[in-house]
Structure 1
Amino acid sequence: MNHLPEFSPAAALISNGDDDIAARLREFVQDREAFSDNTWRQLLSVMRVGSRWAAEHGRRFLPMEPADLRDYLLWLQAAGRASSTISTHAALISMLHRNAGLVPPNVSPLVFRAVKRINRSAVIAGERAGQAIPFRLRDLLLLDARWSASDRLQQQRDLAFLHVAYATLLRISELSRLRVRDISRTPDGRIVLDVAWTKTIVMTGGLIKALGDLSSARLTEWLTASGLIHEPDAFIFTPVHRSNRARVVTDKALSTRALEDIFTRAWQEASPPSPARLNKNRYRSWSGHSARVGAAIDMASSKYSTAQIMQEGTWKKPETVMRYIRHVDAHAGAMVDLMDNHK
């Protein structure tokens, strides 16, 4: 049996005669740095679920026949998976086949029709794309008024984080990687952040993000109070001990869960007592994506163009932005204007 590190589901389904496939998959594993950690985690998850299904139903996971992929996708639908999740499974199975030197089963009309059927059924059944609850500028300013005078380092850090998250539209994983050495200043003292790379921008030039006066002040206050301002290799957002002291961390960034907790504490501080309407069983309060969504909505409400919003949020597809801002000025469409001004 061929051994593939971190690819045990695929290895278990490669027969002894498939040495070429095994070799290409080993090369794929060796080049895993070409993909984001999130993509890799998703791929491994899909492989675990898919290989288990194949074993239980007497099918083969790699290579997978189009009829088998069709049945697998329909099985996911019957199991209650969202159409977006099913599409992700199909896309990652296709990616795995391509990197193994195999023809992806997704190219078959059989699979195309299955995906179309799944999407159509989901829409008719009332499924809607989930969206993080927007963290708006008014929310940031409310929290700023409550936490800016706090002597608790945790609240100073949380406030600085929320300012940077909203002002930069960076993803939560990108925020976690920021270090003190990434900070420079303009002549008037405002902060400029040198972001090495993002999910959609991976190039040696990196990305530059500037902060306004208030956000620069809050970040400076946190770095000064915590002492991190003298630690260029430290991450900007680090743990705060119960003794009200910040830890200097240079080797491991705050986890996604720890940063999500900042949004949870902000929600508890600023939100009304009634919980948010349940959104796809996920979004009960602000989450890691909330600042990006809220900033995009605020920009659209202030009449910034879709291209400008895409640039600020490093989005590659306008469809993504439109999902976030679809309710902005929905009452001011062309036909509404035509009929309201008809004489």
Structure 2
Amino acid sequence: MTELLPAAGLTLADEILLAERLNEFVQDREAFSDNTWKQLLSVMRTGSRWASEHGRSFLPMSRADLRDYLLWLQASGRASSTVSTHAALISMLHRNAGLVPPNISPLVFRAVKKINRTAVISGERAGQAIPFRIGDLLRLDAQWSGSGRLQQVRDLAFLHVAYATLLRVSELGRLRVRDISRTADGRIVLDVAWTKTIVMTGGLIKALSDLSSQRLTEWITLSGLIAEPDAFLFGPVHRSNRATVALLNPLSTRALEDIFARAWREAGPGKDARPNKNRYRGWSGHSTRVGAAIDMALKKYSTAQIMQEGTWKKPETVMRYIRHVDAHAGAMVDLMDKYASS
């Protein structure tokens, strides 16, 4: 078992050992998702800047300094979920550096509890992407199917796959033409190598409906990608109305998010949708996951089934998405309605 270094008072030998462990940590960065690594680097930049400005130490960080840092984040307007992310990633950094995580202190535990309680009492609510529902998909399908614009053909196929598979944007971007196979009746099956929560050699299989299979087939046929098995499934479309065969780099997150923005302009509810947390003002990369989860809940699929389709590990995540579904049909509402009608 690796011996943990103290949170303060490091000797020269300790500092050398710390540098070695951090170097090993960086060398093994592939053990973490790109998003986790980007978040960690962002936290390190923010935390280091705070420590420098306030005469504190970021690594190692004492329990008192971490408490003050988290309270400073809240005072600076960060959401409680963001503060919790900073605390968790600082703990992860300390563990991988062989340091005692300051988060284990009751001082930090009370600070986090205080931050969460204050946030809830002050009216903070978790933001949620505007759902992209099955009705939205079919409305777009009626408007974009048969389009002479290759970009719309691609966008429609992408939205079909996004809704049908509940994959995350980054996971959709990694799909390649070779990941397509077909069932006996011609429907498409996608072989997803790995997801944020499922990393194993067996991968994940996602089947498409007849309509979604048809739209994806139209895209790879018209774009010519059907003859390019190593190309990313959803690549760029040049303004000359020709597809670019992308072999090295997938479409950026920004480019994929732009697909949702174009869909919103074409078929979104517009002013009828209320933005929340100044962030969700139209469909975004998470909208198909939220919308599909809501549609499944409305059709009485179980939470376990929804979790399986969306590769969610925690039922709390799914419940946050579908919390308004059948809210009027709770046990107490049912009980009181029965007494009122008797």
TM-score, with normalisation over the residues of structure 2? 0.95
Q: Which amino acid aligns with 1:123?
A: V
Task: State the partner residue of 2:211.
Answer: 214
Task: State the partner residue of 1:126.
Answer: 123
In the TM superposition, what is the alpha-carbon distance from 1:305 to its structure 2 partner?
A: 0.1
Mapped to 2, the partners of 1:204 and 1:160 lie a distance apart of 27
Task: State the partner residue of 2:56.
Answer: 59
In the TM superposition, what is the alpha-carbon distance from 1:256 to its structure 2 partner?
A: 0.3
**Paired positions, count:** 331
Match of 1:291 among 288, 293, 298: 288
In the TM superposition, what is the alpha-carbon distance from 1:14 to its structure 2 partner?
A: 10
Checking the alignment, whether the CA contact within 8 Å between 1:172 and 1:288 is kept in structure 2 is: yes
Match of 1:300 among 297, 314, 321: 297
Mapped to 2, the partners of 1:36 and 1:15 lie a distance apart of 33
Task: State the partner residue of 2:4.
Answer: none
Match of 2:181 among 158, 181, 184: 184
Q: Does 1:199 align with 2:184?
A: no
Structure 1 residues 173 and 146: CA distance shift in structure 2, 3 A? same
Match of 1:155 among 152, 157, 170: 152
TM-score, with normalisation over the residues of structure 1? 0.95
Mapped to 2, the partners of 1:276 and 1:335 lie a distance apart of 30
In the TM superposition, what is the alpha-carbon distance from 1:276 to its structure 2 partner?
A: 2.8
Identify unmatched segments of 5+ residues in structure 1. 1-12
Task: State the partner residue of 2:335.
Answer: 338
Task: State the partner residue of 2:81.
Answer: 84
- State the secondary structure of the residue aligned to 2:83: helix
In the TM superposition, what is the alpha-carbon distance from 1:277 to its structure 2 partner?
A: 1.5
* Identical-pair percentage: 82
Task: State the partner residue of 1:266.
Answer: 263
Q: Which amino acid aligns with 1:289?
A: H
Mapped to 2, the partners of 1:14 and 1:28 lie a distance apart of 21
- Listed one character per residue, the Cα deviations across residues 271-302 of structure 1 (whole Å, up to 9, x for unaligned) are 23426312111100000000000000000000
Mapped to 2, the partners of 1:273 and 1:308 lie a distance apart of 31
Matched ranges for 1:8-23 at <5 A: 18-23=15-20
Q: Which amino acid aligns with 1:126?
A: G
Match of 1:244 among 241, 245, 260: 241
Mapped to 2, the partners of 1:257 and 1:35 lie a distance apart of 22
Q: Does 1:111 align with 2:108?
A: yes
Mapped to 2, the partners of 1:267 and 1:317 lie a distance apart of 29
Structure 1 residues 302 and 19: CA distance shift in structure 2, 3 A? same
Checking the alignment, whether the CA contact within 8 Å between 1:46 and 1:89 is kept in structure 2 is: yes
Task: State the partner residue of 2:21.
Answer: 24
Mapped to 1, the partners of 2:12 and 2:308 lie a distance apart of 47
Q: Which amino acid aligns with 1:215?
A: S
Mapped to 2, the partners of 1:181 and 1:253 lie a distance apart of 14
Mapped to 1, the partners of 2:152 and 2:42 lie a distance apart of 36
Checking the alignment, whether the CA contact within 8 Å between 2:264 and 2:270 is kept in structure 1 is: no
Task: State the partner residue of 2:231.
Answer: 234
Mapped to 1, the partners of 2:190 and 2:320 lie a distance apart of 28
- State the secondary structure of the residue aligned to 1:110: helix
In the TM superposition, what is the alpha-carbon distance from 1:23 to its structure 2 partner?
A: 0.5
Mapped to 2, the partners of 1:78 and 1:14 lie a distance apart of 34
Task: State the partner residue of 1:70.
Answer: 67
Task: State the partner residue of 1:135.
Answer: 132
Checking the alignment, whether the CA contact within 8 Å between 2:48 and 2:58 is kept in structure 1 is: yes
Q: Which amino acid aligns with 1:307?
A: A
Runs of 4+ in 1 over 3 A off after TM superposition: 13-17
Checking the alignment, whether the CA contact within 8 Å between 1:14 and 1:62 is kept in structure 2 is: no
- State the secondary structure of the residue aligned to 2:242: coil
Checking the alignment, whether the CA contact within 8 Å between 1:226 and 1:245 is kept in structure 2 is: yes
In the TM superposition, what is the alpha-carbon distance from 1:149 to its structure 2 partner?
A: 1.6
Mapped to 2, the partners of 1:65 and 1:275 lie a distance apart of 48
Q: Does 1:175 align with 2:152?
A: no
Q: Which amino acid aligns with 2:156?
A: L
Mapped to 2, the partners of 1:210 and 1:30 lie a distance apart of 36
Task: State the partner residue of 2:6.
Answer: none
Q: Which amino acid aligns with 1:327?
A: H
Q: Which amino acid aligns with 2:215?
A: R
Mapped to 2, the partners of 1:258 and 1:275 lie a distance apart of 25
